[in-house]
Amino acid sequence: MKCPVCGDDCVSDAFDIINTMDTIFAPCPRCRGRHLDKKAPPPDYIPPDPCICGKRFIDDVYALIYGIGKEEGDLIGNEPLKEVGTPLIHPGFVLNEAPYLPARSLVILTDLLSEKSAKRIVAEIPEVRGVVLDNHVIPGLVDCSSKEPPKTHTLLAGCDVRANIFATQVGPIVIYKQASTMHIEFPRPVNPKLISVDRQVYTKRPKTFVDACCGSGTLGITAARLGVPHVIFNDAWYAAAFWTAYNLKVNHTYLGIDDVDIRESYQSMAHTPLRSEPHLIATIRGNFSAEVYQGDYRLLSPYLPSDDLLTVIDLFDKASRDMVEQVITDWKAHNKGDVFIP
Q: In this predicted structure, what is the pLDDT of residue 140? A: 79
Q: What is the pLDDT averaged over residues 296-316?
A: 91
Predicted local confidence at residue 293, as pLDDT: 98
Q: Which of 179-188, 272-281, 315-324 has the lowest mean pLDDT?
A: 315-324
pLDDT at 143: 65
Average pLDDT over residues 11-16: 94
Distance separating alpha carbons of residues 222 and 191, to the nearest angstrom: 12
Work out the percent of the chain whose per-residue pLDDT is above 90: 84
Predicted pLDDT of residue 185: 85
Alpha helices in the chain (DSSP H): 14-18, 58-71, 115-124, 192-204, 218-225, 238-250, 252-255, 266-269, 321-334
The whole-number pLDDT of residue 317 equals: 67
Q: DSSP secondary-structure letter at 90?
A: S
- Bigger pLDDT: 138 vs 84: 84
Give the end-to-end CA distance of the chain in Å, rounded to a whole number. 32
What pLDDT, on the 0 to 100 scale, is given for residue 144? 63
Helix (H) or strand (E) holding 76: none
DSSP assigned state of 83: G
Burial of 277: CB neighbours in 10 Å, binned 0-12, 13-18, 19+:
exposed
Higher-confidence residue of 317 and 168: namely: 168
pLDDT at site 319 = 61
Give me the mean pLDDT over the 189-208 stretch. 95
For the cut 80, the answer to whether the pLDDT of residue 248 exceeds it is yes
pLDDT of residue 142: 65
What value does the mean pLDDT take over residues 83-91?
97
What superfamily in CATH does domain 190-340 come from?
Vaccinia Virus protein VP39 (3.40.50.150)
- pLDDT for 315 equals 81
Mean pLDDT of 234-240: 95
Q: Which residues contact 12 (CB under 8 A, 6 or more apart)?
A: 1, 163, 250
Q: Does 189 score more than 80 pLDDT?
A: yes
ω into residue 91 within 30 of 0, thus cis? yes
Distance of CA 195 to the CA centre of its chain: 19
Residue 318: pLDDT over 70: no
**What is the rounded average pLDDT for all residues in the chain?**
94
Contact 250, 301 (CB under 8 A): no
Q: Within a 13 Å sphere around the CA of 129, how many CA atoms are in the beta-carbon half?
A: 28
Stronger pLDDT, 146 or 237, i.e. the higher one? 237
pTM of the predicted model as reported, rounded to 2 decimal places: 0.95
Q: Identify the pLDDT of residue 146.
A: 62
Per-domain residue ranges of the chain: 14-158, 190-340
Confidence band, pLDDT 50/70/90 cuts, at residue 114: very high
- Of 150, 151, 159, 62, which is closest to residue 113 (Cα–Cα)? 62
Is a pLDDT exceeding 70 seen at residue 33?
Answer: yes
